[in-house]
Amino acid sequence: MSDTPQNPFELMMKQAQDMAKAMNPAMENFSPKGFEALWPTMPKEVMEMMFGNTVNKDGLDAKTRLLLTLAGLTCQGAQADAAVRQTVRHALEAGAKKQEIVETIGQMSVFAGIPAMTRALDLAQEVMGDNEDEDQ
């Protein structure tokens, strides 16, 4: 038997992989996590200016906005690994405590289900495990 995919989707994916390898052989070892490292964590002051209450004095601060974003990403099933990890990283920088992040994700189990919550917690732990601070 041939090792050529028989399913049209598998065939399309194989063709795309072959094309990527032909264009850039280094793509074979591409890692989305490596790409994440190119996007730096914004300083808290920048986040407040862009996402916080700098423009709208009575609005939400950056930390609250990022926790809401994390809740939304969890409700979507925590399918966007890079977005969840990046949001957790930025929330920590904006002043969120680990406990607040865990509670935000845990609260979404009611709306998104246990599998989505578990997935989001796993992704968040990847980031929070790197930040071993005592302020929880």
Q: How confident is the model at residue 102 (pLDDT cuts 50, 70, 90)?
A: very high
Task: Quote the pLDDT of residue 92.
Answer: 95
Distances (CA, A) of 130 to 43, 70, 92: 17, 18, 11
Distances (CA, A) of 91 to 4, 44, 55, 85: 45, 9, 19, 10
Q: How confident is the model at residue 61 (pLDDT cuts 50, 70, 90)?
A: confident
pTM: 0.66
Give the whole-angstrom CA distance, residue 46 versus residue 7. Answer: 48
Q: How confident is the model at residue 134 (pLDDT cuts 50, 70, 90)?
A: very low
Task: Quote the pLDDT of residue 28.
Answer: 65
Task: Quote the pLDDT of residue 20.
Answer: 76
